[in-house]
Amino acid sequence: MSYVQTLKMFVRVYELGSMSAAARDQRVSAAVASSRISELEKHLGVRLFNRTTRSLQPTENGRIFYDGARKVLDTIEEAEAAVMDVTQNPRGTIFVAAPLGVGRRFIGPHLPAFKDIYPQIDLRLRLSDRHVDMTAEGLDVAFHLGTLEDSTLKMRLVADCPRVLCAAPAYIERRGMPLDGAALLADKHDCLNLRFPGAKEFQWTLQTEDGPRRYEIAGPFESDDGDVLTGWALDGRGIVLKPLFEVAQHLREGRLLPVAVATPPQPTQLTCLTQHRRLRDPKIRLFVDFIIARCKADLAAAVAGLPDPLPAPAAGNFDGADPVPHRGETS
């Protein structure tokens, strides 16, 4: 095994803090990963990690060596990119992460087309609604829906995304139509929660006449999968807070109706994140430009024709309620 591959293994062990996790990342067995680290320590004549049965911590020598090894690998990547015929022959693997709804609708469908154009680039897509750590998970590109808190990442805005509170006609018929955020709490409406480590969606920030206000909502169901919440809402189980693009078709067809329209949710943003050093890699720039252009077009098409702001449904029997009218139509 080449020294460069050994350095890559060391760097991933250091960044992930786990021999087994680094082995999975590099697609080798844990025994192979451990052997490579041991060989590297023998070559250097120092211990790079303190190992116990429950933990693995870098030594001072390990921390010093990591800085140098990371620079060496970055330099090699830059040198490879510099001699590559970018327009004809980019190559390598790109690791991409995205929220479930975004990935399924706007990222995944375009990866085959990118592969057709650049056949020597392989793509690894990971979908999850949880927060991802780009360094720890070895990601090149991550799409993020929400407020960006890590300023060490390079951010490109894909689109501003309005959001909507909505529920099925059957739920509104049974529980009534909440007019605003206060009614959500006063009438103890069933709110469907997106919940995972670090999530904040159990506090819905709504726009009131006095400015943004947080409402601590509750309900009988929660999930870490946003599409599951949509399914529960369609089944009449409660009220869901969703990006408009995820439920636009349901609103058009009347399967979901906007609620609490007097206090709408604040919009969010879809952004594309990269680590600064990775943007020097031509294949990453090609991929980001390709996907962002298509995401913008898809997002615009998803919400086309819906009025802004969304109107309140007409009062009365909500069983079989009319769909949300398109712009230019009357309700």
Residue 279 counted as domain residue: yes
- Segments forming the whole domain that contains residue 45: 3-83
Q: Are residues 123 and 182 in the same domain?
A: no
Residue 151, exposed/middle/buried by CB under 10 A (0-12, 13-18, 19+)?
exposed
Q: Are residues 276 and 261 in the same domain?
A: no
Three-state DSSP class for 35?
A: helix
The whole-number pLDDT of residue 235 equals: 96
Residue 64 counted as domain residue: yes
**Residue 226: Cβ within 10 Å count:** 22
Residue 318 counted as domain residue: no
| 8 A C-beta contact, residue 255 and residue 166 | no
- Among candidates 86, 25, 104, 45, which has minimal Cα distance to 302? 104
**CATH number of the CATH domain containing 28:** 1.10.10.10
Q: Based on the structure, what is the number of domains in the chain?
A: 3
For the full predicted model, state whether its pTM sits above 0.85: no
Residue 320 counted as domain residue: no
Q: Are residues 51 and 180 in the same domain?
A: no
* 101-128 pLDDT tens trace: 899 999 999 999 999 999 999 999 999 8
Type of residue found at 26: Q
Residue 326 counted as domain residue: no
Pick out the chain residues at pLDDT < 50: 327-331
Residue 308 counted as domain residue: no
The whole-number pLDDT of residue 318 equals: 59
